[in-house]
Amino acid sequence: MAKSVKIKDLLSPTEYKRVSGDESSMEREVFVADINRPGFELAGFFKHSDFRRIILLGEKENAFIEEMTKEAQLACFSKLVNDETPCIIVAKGYKTSDILKNIAIKRNFPVFETDSATGRVSIDLQARLDEWLAPETLIHGVFLNIYGKGVIIRGDSGIGKSEIALELVKRGHQLIADDAVELYHIGQNIVGKAPKVLSNLLEIRGIGVIDVSKMFGAGSVLSKNNVDLIIQLERWLPSREYTRIGVEEDDVTEEILNVSIPKIVVPVTGGRSMSVIIESAVMNMQLKSQGFDSSKEFVNRILSNIKSKEH
């Protein structure tokens, strides 16, 4: 089922003044996260027009409308004001054309006016629509903000994800979600947050569910963050080869909603401080993003040492 958002939930009455349409017209739904600046439509060209988009009339569009004949306006607005178009917004303090207003009133169609600049309205609406209509999925794991990076910790049930998260929170990092993480593809990023019912909560075996914000303070939780890294915890197997130097294999990634997220596989065994290891993994990722690769630096030192002994 396609995601949608109702006009009444998208447009704030403090920002947008409704000049036509009653309360039932506010139930219209938006299914497409794009804005239509109808230059071609005002000129009478409707081929390939997608009427599912919100129509935004800015300075250029309103200047063009003022030059149009009444007959041209009547023909154009009769097509734009239909059952598919969610609404029309007239920006930058312009007044709605009388012909447009009359057609909208007759068809119970919502038209809004705003004093905000056209570009600002477009950016604001695009951001809201991207968030409301973003593709989404749900994965199991713990999501934390560690040194400003969004890190999802995954692993088999009982491997200790929540206990590691508790230790990381005690070390000053922030919990975003435990057990289930809602993921959304917004813009170029994957954004994660907790389901409302699990917000701020952490389940620790033997103790039960704890409210992290009440136990460690409001600064110990975060509502959402971009996903920057996935850490996969695996039970240590003597027969398996694990990364030691860091140049053994190409960078590992995991696809989430068609976006590649860097991934690290970390073996879990007794005696390892997993919170420190995860902190180190995040810091090492930050160094790599700044152009410093510890693994390559180590290899270069060995090569330099070999060359110095050859001379």
Domain extent for 91 = 5-132
Residues 100 and 235 in one domain: no
Q: Are residues 122 and 155 in the same domain?
A: no
Question: Per the annotation, does 203 bind a ligand?
Answer: yes
Residue 297 known to bind ligand: no
Neighbours of 204 (CB within 10 A): 13
12-27 pLDDT, tens per residue? 999 999 999 999 999 9
Q: DSSP readout, 178-230?
A: SSEEEEEEETTEEEEE--GGGTTEEEETTTEEEEHHHHH-GGGB-SEEE--EE
Which of 87, 109, 132 represents a domain boundary (last residue)? 132
The domain that holds 263 is classified in CATH as: 3.40.50.300
Report yes or no on 168 lying in a domain: yes
Residues that are catalytic: 140, 161, 179
Is 159 inside any structural domain?
A: yes
Q: For the domain that residue 111 is a member of, what is the CATH number?
A: 3.40.1390.20
With respect to residue 306, please indicate whether it lies within any of the assigned structural domains.
Answer: no
Residues 80, 163, single domain; the answer is: no
Q: Residue 58 annotated as binding? A: no
pLDDT in tens, 133-177: 999 999 999 999 999 999 999 998 888 899 999 999 999 999 999
pLDDT tens for each residue of 244-301: 545 445 578 999 999 999 999 888 876 578 899 899 889 888 887 777 666 566 545 6
pLDDT tens-digit profile of 201-260? Answer: 999 888 889 999 999 999 999 999 999 999 999 887 766 665 554 544 557 899 999 999
Dihedral (C-alpha) 233, 237, 239, 241: value to the nearest 10 degrees? 30
Buried b (16+ CB within 10 A) or exposed e, 108-139: ebbbbbbeeebeebbeebeebbbebbbeeeeb
Does one domain contain both 101 and 175? no
pTM confidence score: 0.73
**311 in a domain, yes or no?**
no
Predicted pLDDT at 147: 94
Q: Which of 106, 132, 158 is the last residue of a domain?
A: 132
Q: Is 19 helix (H, G, I), strand (E, B) or coil?
A: strand
Number of domains in the chain: 2
Q: Are residues 64 and 196 in the same domain?
A: no
Any domain includes 309: no
Is residue 198 domain-shared with residue 258, that is, in the same domain?
yes
Q: Is 160 annotated as a binding residue?
A: yes
- State the pLDDT at residue 267: 86
Flag whether 161 is marked binding. Answer: yes
* 111 and 90 Cβ atoms separated by less than 8 Å: yes
184 and 244 in a single domain? The answer is: yes
Is residue 261 in a domain?
yes
- Residue 116 is classified by DSSP as S
pLDDT digits (tens, 9 = 90+) for 189-205: 999 999 999 999 999 88
Q: Is residue 231 part of a domain?
A: yes
123 plus 164 within the same structural domain: no
**Are the C-beta atoms of residues 190 and 184 closer than 8 Å to each other?**
yes
**Do residue 52 and residue 172 come from a single domain?**
no
162 is in an annotated binding site: yes
14 and 109 both lie in a single domain:
yes
Classify residue 196 as exposed, middle or buried by CB count within 10 Å of its CB (0-12, 13-18, 19+).
Answer: exposed
Residues 151 and 276 in one domain: yes
The answer to the question of residue 307 being in a domain is: no
**Who's near 274: CB < 8 A, 6+ residues apart?**
160, 164, 167, 233, 266, 268
Of the residues 132, 158, 184, the one at which a domain ends: 132
291 marked ligand binding residue: no
Of 192, 191, 184, the C-alpha closest to 141 is 192
Tokens of 226: 């971009």
Name beta bridge partners: 5: 30
Same domain (yes/no): 143, 286: yes
